[in-house]
Amino acid sequence: MSEDTRETQEMAGHAPAAEHTDEGHDKGQRRRMQRRFHRRKVCRFCLAKDVYIDYKDVRRIGRFISDRGKMLPRRVTGCCARHQRMLAVAIKRARFMALLPFKAE
């Protein structure tokens, strides 16, 4: 009789503890929040397969400066590293040749 009671107590102690389901749910929500503003842009120079960006081509370069004459950052232009760097060089040359303004007021 005494053995019987001990067995039942042990059974109660080994009850399955499955209460850890909240964590995963929380993480999933946070990840979705981060992904909200992710939009993939393709470098348009890579798309056009233009290897060289000419500083004399003001019409094309002029689209990559702001209305105040500043160069647009890569997050705006969507250019790849290589073409953004070439663009920066082209804009600086164009400025030096007085094709583009250093500063527009």
Q: How far is the CB of 59 from Zn ion (least distance, A)?
A: 19
Q: Give the nearer residue to Zn ion in terms of CB position, either 46 or 76.
A: 46
- How far is it, in rounded angstroms, from Cα 79 to Cα 60? 14
Q: Give the nearer residue to Zn ion in terms of CB position, either 44 or 93.
A: 44
Share of the chain residues as helix, strand and coil, in percent rounded to the nearest 5: 55, 0, 40
Q: Total residues contacting Zn ion (rule CB under 5 A)?
A: 5
Q: How far is the CB of 76 from Zn ion (least distance, A)?
A: 15
- How far is it, in rounded angstroms, from Cα 72 to Cα 66? 6
Is residue 99 a contact residue for Zn ion (CB under 5 A)?
no
Copy the structure tokens of residue 44. Answer: 């348009």
Residues of this chain, 34-63, that bind Zn ion according to CB under 5 A: 43, 45-46
- How far is it, in rounded angstroms, from Cα 32 to Cα 25? 11
Q: Which residue is nearest to Zn ion (CB)?
A: 43
Residues that bind Zn ion (CB under 5 A): 43, 45-46, 80, 83
